């Protein structure tokens, strides 16, 4: 069974997924961050593949991506860092990266290398759904990888149901129609959107991302979905705290 499926089967609520940018703050920090997150009880990790034009990301994650690229991070080097990672950890791992570097690497090759490293799923924010259906879904299924699609408050019910029918793993619910970034609370509009999607009784579980930064936002997300995804808040801590372990401990303390 795919580790993502096992996680959602065993844990129905309160799932904490954390995003970080590979190669940040230092090039060799990728595996250190992954091990520290699992040690602190994080349920799922999204490994960001840095890209020069990350259109869905806010300034904090954009800056981390620029730093990682300056450090020399690339798709090929990331796979080199992740080789053997499954000897050290067991929680689900998802790669989150934009389409351009993946196309340059070759999608079939990208999937093959991901599986060798023990990756369980892929998030490609700028992958159009029609292209996913035509060209990407068959390859991902061949390798047993889940491709996780994003929905926003502006996504129609028809499109949400199509995504639910043709994807697996979980659905990434973007909390607002904006870029990533920490927020102190969710407004009535976001809460109404969470409840509207929750009432659709979709087959896939959902995680809410963009804006999760404290106990209030994490708990609000967990009331309306299986859990939440945190990115910008953790990236900020990685950039300010003295050690990776310190940053991870402060994140978990802030959220839980």
SS3 per-residue string spanning 177-232? CCCCCCCCCCCHHHHHHHHHHHCCCCCCCEEEECCCCCHHHHHHHHHHCCEEEECH
pLDDT tens string, the chain, 256 residues long: the values are: 899 999 999 999 999 999 999 999 999 999 999 999 999 999 999 999 998 877 767 889 999 999 999 999 999 999 999 999 999 889 999 999 999 999 999 999 999 999 999 999 999 999 999 999 999 999 999 999 999 999 999 999 999 999 999 999 999 999 876 544 445 567 888 889 999 999 999 999 999 999 898 999 999 999 999 999 999 999 999 999 889 999 999 999 999 8
Segment 187-242, tens digit of pLDDT: 888 889 999 999 999 999 999 999 898 999 999 999 999 999 999 999 999 999 88
Instruction: Report the predicted TM-score, pTM, of the whole model to 2 decimal places.
Output: 0.94
CATH number of the domain that residue 111 is part of = 3.20.20.70
H or E stretch including 41?
A: none
Catalytic residue among 46, 113, 164, 224: 46
Q: Within a domain: residue 76?
A: yes
Q: Within a domain: residue 239?
A: yes
Q: What are phi and psi of 172, to 5 degrees?
A: -90, 110
Segment 59-72, tens digit of pLDDT: 899 999 999 999 99
Beta bridge partner(s), residue 73: none
Has 46 been annotated as catalytic? yes
Confidence at residue 184, expressed as pLDDT on a 0 to 100 scale: 57
CA dihedral 137, 140, 144, 150 (to 10 degrees): -70
Catalytic residue among 57, 120, 164, 224: 57
CA dist 58 and 60 (Å) reads 6
Cα 227 to chain center, whole Å? 12
Has 5 been annotated as catalytic? no
Q: Within a domain: residue 110?
A: yes
What's the domain range around 240?
Answer: 3-251
Q: Within a domain: residue 256?
A: no
Instruction: Give the total number of structural domains in the chain.
Output: 1
Q: Within a domain: residue 185?
A: yes
């Amino acid at each position: 069974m795919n580790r993502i499926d096992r996680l959602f089967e065993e844990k129905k609520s309160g799932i904490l997924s954390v995003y970080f940018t590979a190669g940040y703050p230092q090039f060799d920090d990728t595996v250190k961050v992954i091990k520290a997150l699992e040690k602190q009880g994080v349920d799922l990790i999204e490994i960001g593949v840095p890209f020069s034009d990350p259109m869905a990301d806010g300034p904090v994650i954009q800056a981390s991506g620029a730093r990682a690229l300056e450090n020399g991070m690339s798709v090929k080097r990331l796979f080199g860092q992740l080789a053997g990672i499954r000897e050290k950890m067991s929680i689900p791992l998802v790669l989150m990266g934009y389409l351009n570097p993946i196309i340059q690497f070759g999608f079939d090759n990208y999937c093959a290398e991901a599986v060798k490293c023990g990756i369980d799923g892929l998030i490609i924010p700028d992958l159009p759904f029609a292209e996913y259906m035509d060209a990407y879904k068959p390859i991902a299924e061949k390798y047993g990888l889940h491709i996780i699609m994003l929905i926003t408050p502006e996504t129609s019910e028809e499109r949400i149901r199509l995504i639910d029918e043709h994807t697996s793993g979980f659905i990434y619910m973007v909390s607002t129609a904006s870029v990533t970034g920490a927020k102190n609370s969710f407004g009535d509009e976001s809460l109404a959107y969470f409840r509207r999607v929750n009432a659709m009784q979709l087959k896939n579980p959902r995680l809410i991302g963009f804006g999760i930064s404290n106990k209030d936002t994490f708990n609000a997300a967990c009331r309306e979905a299986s859990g939440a995804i945190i990115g910008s808040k953790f990236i900020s801590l990685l950039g300010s705290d003295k050690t990776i372990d310190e940053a991870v401990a402060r994140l978990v303390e802030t959220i839980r």
